[in-house]
C-alpha cells in the first residue's frame, strides 16, 4: 500500500481546522489544531492549551493523542496538524517523541499545513529518526 493510501486527507484537514478554533492560546496567540486518524477510521481532534508558565502547555498533537488513548484508541494511521504563518510548523520535539510511542516502525504519516494552503508531509521516522525506545 502506498504512502497515504486510503487516508482522507481532506477530512483530516477539515477536522484540524475546526478544532483549531477551540485552541486556548491567550499568551502566544498561536492557534494549532490536530486531527488524528485511528486504524478504525475514527478522527480524534486536539488543540493547543496554553498555560502562563508555558512548560505546562499542552500541544495540539499531544492533546489529540491523549484524547484518543482516553477513548481506548492506540492504533494510529495519520495526523494532520494546522498551524498559522506562511509555512507549516512541524510538531515540537516532545510531540514527535509522543507520536513515535504510537508508531513502532515510524510510518505514522504527519501532514503539516496552514490555512493558506501551504503543506508538507512527513513520517514520524523522518521527523524523529532516532526516537527513544525502551
Q: Say which residues have a Cβ less than 8 Å from residue 102's Cβ, sequence separation at least 6.
A: 65, 74, 75, 76, 108
- Looking at the structure of the chain, the number of domains it has is 1
- Residue-wise pLDDT for 58-82, tens only, equals 999 999 999 999 999 999 999 999 9
The answer to whether position 69 is within a domain reads yes
Catalytic residues: 61
| CATH at 39 | 3.40.140.10
The answer to whether position 39 is within a domain reads yes
* Whole-prediction pTM: 0.95
The answer to whether position 134 is within a domain reads no
The answer to whether position 106 is within a domain reads yes
**Contact between residue 83 and residue 30 where contact means Cβ atoms under 8 Å apart:** yes
The answer to whether position 34 is within a domain reads yes
* % pLDDT > 90, the chain: 96
The answer to whether position 3 is within a domain reads no
The answer to whether position 116 is within a domain reads no
The answer to whether position 31 is within a domain reads yes
Amino acid at each position: 500500500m502506498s504512502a497515504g493510501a486510503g487516508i482522507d486527507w481532506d477530512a483530516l484537514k477539515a477536522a484540524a481546522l475546526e478544532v483549531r478554533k477551540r485552541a486556548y492560546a491567550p499568551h502566544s496567540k498561536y492557534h494549532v489544531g490536530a486531527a488524528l486518524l485511528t486504524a478504525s477510521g475514527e478522527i480524534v481532534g486536539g488543540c493547543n492549551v496554553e498555560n502562563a508558565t508555558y512548560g505546562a502547555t499542552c500541544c495540539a498533537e499531544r492533546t489529540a493523542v491523549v484524547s484518543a488513548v482516553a477513548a481506548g484508541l492506540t492504533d494510529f494511521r495519520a495526523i494532520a496538524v494546522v498551524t498559522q504563518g506562511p509555512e507549516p510548523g512541524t510538531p515540537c520535539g516532545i510531540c514527535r517523541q509522543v507520536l513515535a510511542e504510537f508508531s513502532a516502525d515510524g510510518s505514522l504519516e504527519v501532514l503539516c499545513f496552514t490555512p493558506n494552503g501551504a503543506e508538507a508531509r512527513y513520517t514520524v521516522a523522518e521527523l524523529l529518526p532516532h526516537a527513544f525506545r525502551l
